[in-house]
Amino acid sequence: MKPLDEMVERGQARKVYSRPRALHSTRTHYCPGCGHGVIHRMLCEVIDELGIQETTIGVSPVGCAVFAFNYINVDFTDALHGRAPAVATGIKRSHPDKVVFTYQGDGDLAAIGLGEIVHAASRGEKITTLFVNNANYGMTGGQMAPTTLPGQRTTTSPHGRDPEVCGYPLRMAELLATIEGVNFLTREALDIPARVISAKKAIKTAFAEQLAGKGFNLVEILSPCASGWGMTPLKAREWLREKMIPQFPLGRFK
């Protein structure tokens, strides 16, 4: 028995948190300050609380999301870049008794996968999507993404995104909210603890809606990318709050 466990057993300490059963005990590869690890933890807590570990299947595509299977202890499959909704559709239709989710970044979902997510939503596929929006291509070097803010500097827009040249950022929640097949849709953020708690509640709601036979369900989460943004972890959360949230307002859209 570990010393801390012994202290708890003797009443000398109180355990206030335990690693979720659905979360693998492994060292993270994510950069300091990255939000992916927080989202993984919340997702695994929800899986534990709903008791769906043995019936859940995840789909992750290319990008920082690709290694989700290293951390989340459920059945997993990888998809080609942008194709996670199509793969998830096939799995859910073949196994309607399973809980199926996709875990996608903005470079994946809002760029090469835009058509896939729009049509999965229009069909009302009974799947859940966790959409991690960090306003850049985090894994491949911090390039401009469809969600990069006007004026935001990236490795491919070193002087800042110019809407006259590159267009405006896509607001995916607002876009998908116009589609009749969408059942539950919300945008959350990870800048402060209260919003982390809100994001977990949204993830749990999205999975509960799928369990009730309702779809399509999507939770967009504004997440810091300290490395891609060239900031400290603390500064990245401040930038998310001051810059990203005004561009991508939080709240439930459907």
95-134, pLDDT tens digit by residue?
999 999 999 999 899 999 999 999 999 999 999 999 999 9
Q: Taking Cα atoms as reference points, which of 74, 17, 66 lies closest to residue 44?
A: 74
CA distances from 230 to 105, 131, 240 (A): 19, 22, 13
Question: How far apart are the C-alpha atoms of 250 and 239, rounded to whole Å?
Answer: 15
Whether 123 and 85 have beta carbons less than 8 Å apart is answered as no
* CATH number of 232's domain: 3.40.50.970
pLDDT at 82: 92
Tokens 């998908």 found at: 176
In a domain, 13, yes or no: no
Q: Is the pTM of this model over 0.85?
A: yes
In a domain, 200, yes or no: yes
Question: How far apart are the C-alpha atoms of 147 and 107, rounded to whole Å?
Answer: 8
pLDDT at 140: 81
Provide the residue range defining the domain that includes 248: 30-157+167-252
In a domain, 10, yes or no: no
In a domain, 138, yes or no: yes
In a domain, 22, yes or no: no
Question: How far apart are the C-alpha atoms of 95 and 54, rounded to whole Å?
Answer: 13
In a domain, 24, yes or no: no
Count of domains observed in the chain: 1
pLDDT at 211: 98
Whether 142 and 229 have beta carbons less than 8 Å apart is answered as yes
- Helices in the chain by DSSP H: which ranges? 3-9, 36-50, 84-94, 106-107, 114-122, 163-166, 172-176, 193-211, 226-229, 233-239, 245-247
In a domain, 9, yes or no: no
Low-confidence ranges of the chain (pLDDT < 50): none
Mean pLDDT over each residue of the chain, to the nearest integer: 94
Q: Taking Cα atoms as reference points, which of 48, 69, 44, 70 lies closest to residue 59?
A: 69
In a domain, 3, yes or no: no
Which residues, other chains included, contact 173 with Cβ-Cβ below 8 Å and sequence gap of 6+? Answer: 185, 186, 187, 218, 220, 248, 253
pLDDT at 188: 98
pLDDT at 141: 82
Question: How far apart are the C-alpha atoms of 71 and 247, rounded to whole Å?
Answer: 31
pLDDT at 169: 96
β-pairing, 75-78 vs 128-133, is unpaired
